[in-house]
Structure 1
Amino acid sequence: MGGATGSKRVPRAVREQQMLDAGVRAFARSGYQNASMDDIAELAGVSKPLVYLYLNSKEELFTACIRREAAALVTAVRAAVERDAPADRQLWSGLSGFFAHAAEHPEGWTLLHVQARTHGQPYAREVAAMRAEIVEFVTQLIGAAAREHARGAARARTLAGTEVSGLAHALVGAAESLADWAGDGRAGGHSAQEAAATLMNFAWAGLGNLLQGTGWSPDRVG
């Protein structure tokens, strides 16, 4: 029987994802400066010219890796939120999704939280945009919690928009730090749910006091 028996052609989208997988791994492990296109091509199982054909340059590959990992993290957080649950459960489930994704994709987390932030403003801006999206989402959850509390409490305090935004920034910053702590082994095997509960115990009780009008003030010290 005639005819060639060569290997099937890999679709462009699949091949590109293989290159991005290799790029994330190389950049996370070696850093942007030390990761070479030769290494990335070898990890992806393709030739270096093909990497350049698909992604043009090392800079564009790095940017594409950052954007993919950032989008995946935001999607994971949003998908984890239990939409019909009480506000505290929604926030806990979103945090659980954040910690689970960071734990399941440690190289992606390293790329976003370490490499992208330390190799120039264009890359740092990509991560800042992702962080702003997560902060806005958390702001909405905290705002919903405040409204929920106001409906069920006789002496509920209304939070100003700047307070809600500040709380959201603080919570996201704490989550990032806790993800680093969990990722380097200091957590002693804590699950994503346990890490989220740790942060909720730190933040939610204080938020509850704030909503009840018993927030901390330096005037009350001493």
Structure 2
Amino acid sequence: MGAVKSKRVPRAVREQQMLDAAVRTFARRGYRAASMDEIAEVAGVSKPLVYLYLNSKEELFSAVIRREAAALVTAVTAAVEPRAAADRQLWSGLRGFFAHTAEHPDGWAVLHQQARTHGEPFAREVAAMRAEIVSFVTDLIGVAAKEAGCAGELAEREVAGLAHALVGAAESLAEWANVRTDEGPSGEHVRPTAKDAAATMMNFAWAGLGRMTTGERWTPDGPTGPADPPGAYG
């Protein structure tokens, strides 16, 4: 009897294996230092096969960014409780964001560290992902303002600025949470949970937004000083 042939791996499965290996290698070695030889070795395939499937190191890196960005956006939007109040929607979205970045630290490192520092077209791919998340958060803040009855008082530019600030703060907090360890009750080192990180973000951002929706505004002259005229900051 002839030797039993090994089962052929479908192209889509093989490609995902290569992307998994590339994520790990790019995150830990950096884009410049990562080699196609190393990626092929981690994936358990030959280097010519990697080139056959993904053409070049640049295209492989772009494919990694697109996959990891899509996965992050999907995780955030899927975590949101669609019929909940605006604050609950934002809370659940943030929890999904922090859970995903904690569960996929290599993918987050590629998006947050590697892709942004190597120019076009990599930075553009990340910018597109970020714009999608910012738009999502902008809508949630707009809903919150409407629920509080002050939709007209929070100008469109102000809502957009708040969304950008919130997303930027969440990105920084995820970076911090993924490297920080605290000592647990038994002396073990533990990282902040996604729930804890989301609560920190909500206490930082939502409390301030809540004050804004009731008409409170900080001014350089203090609470007893005159309010700035419209456009004073523009």
TM range (shorter): over 0.9
**Which residue number corresponds to residue 165 of structure 2?**
170
One-letter identity of the residue aligned with 2:63: A
CA distance in 2 between counterparts of 1:52 and 1:157 reads 55
Q: Normalising by structure 2, what TM-score?
A: 0.89
Equivalent pair of 1:156/1:213 in contact (CA under 8 Å): no
**Which residue number corresponds to residue 121 of structure 2?**
122
The answer to whether structure 1 residue 40 and structure 2 residue 39 are counterparts is yes
Alignment of 1:1-222 (within 5 A): 2=1, 4-150=3-149, 158-185=153-180, 189-220=191-222
- What SS does the aligned partner of 1:6 have? coil
Is the alpha carbon distance of 1:19 and 1:148 closer, same or farther for their aligned partners in structure 2, counting shifts above 3 Å?
same
CA distance in 2 between counterparts of 1:55 and 1:85 reads 42
CA distance in 1 between counterparts of 2:11 and 2:57 reads 18
**Which residue number corresponds to residue 186 of structure 2?**
none
Moved over 4 A (4+): none
Equivalent pair of 1:139/1:168 in contact (CA under 8 Å): yes
Equivalent pair of 2:142/2:151 in contact (CA under 8 Å): no
Unaligned 5+ runs, structure 2: 183-189, 226-234
Shift of 1:64: 0.1
- Per mean C-alpha deviation after superposition, the further-off stretch among 58-67 and 4-13 is 4-13
Query: What CA deviation, in whole Å up to 9, does each residue of 1:75-116 have, x standing for no partner?
Result: 000000011111101000000000000000000000000000
CA distance in 1 between counterparts of 2:152 and 2:47 reads 60
CA distance in 2 between counterparts of 1:179 and 1:92 reads 15
- What SS does the aligned partner of 1:205 have? helix
Query: What CA deviation, in whole Å up to 9, does each residue of 1:180-221 have, x standing for no partner?
Result: 110111566211011001010011111011111112111226
CA distance in 2 between counterparts of 1:42 and 1:79 reads 34
- What SS does the aligned partner of 1:18 have? helix
Is the alpha carbon distance of 1:36 and 1:136 closer, same or farther for their aligned partners in structure 2, counting shifts above 3 Å?
same
One-letter identity of the residue aligned with 1:110: A
CA distance in 2 between counterparts of 1:20 and 1:110 reads 15
Equivalent pair of 1:157/1:213 in contact (CA under 8 Å): no
Count of aligned pairs: 217
Shift of 1:156: 7.6
One-letter identity of the residue aligned with 1:189: R
CA distance in 2 between counterparts of 1:156 and 1:77 reads 25
What's the Cα RMSD here? Answer: 1.5
CA distance in 2 between counterparts of 1:82 and 1:149 reads 19
- Per mean C-alpha deviation after superposition, the further-off stretch among 163-172 and 183-192 is 183-192
CA distance in 1 between counterparts of 2:102 and 2:10 reads 30
Identity %: 73
- Per mean C-alpha deviation after superposition, the further-off stretch among 179-188 and 91-100 is 179-188
Shift of 1:149: 1.2
Q: Normalising by structure 1, what TM-score?
A: 0.94
Unaligned 5+ runs, structure 1: none
Shift of 1:157: 6.2
| Higher-helix-fraction structure | 1
Shift of 1:121: 2.1
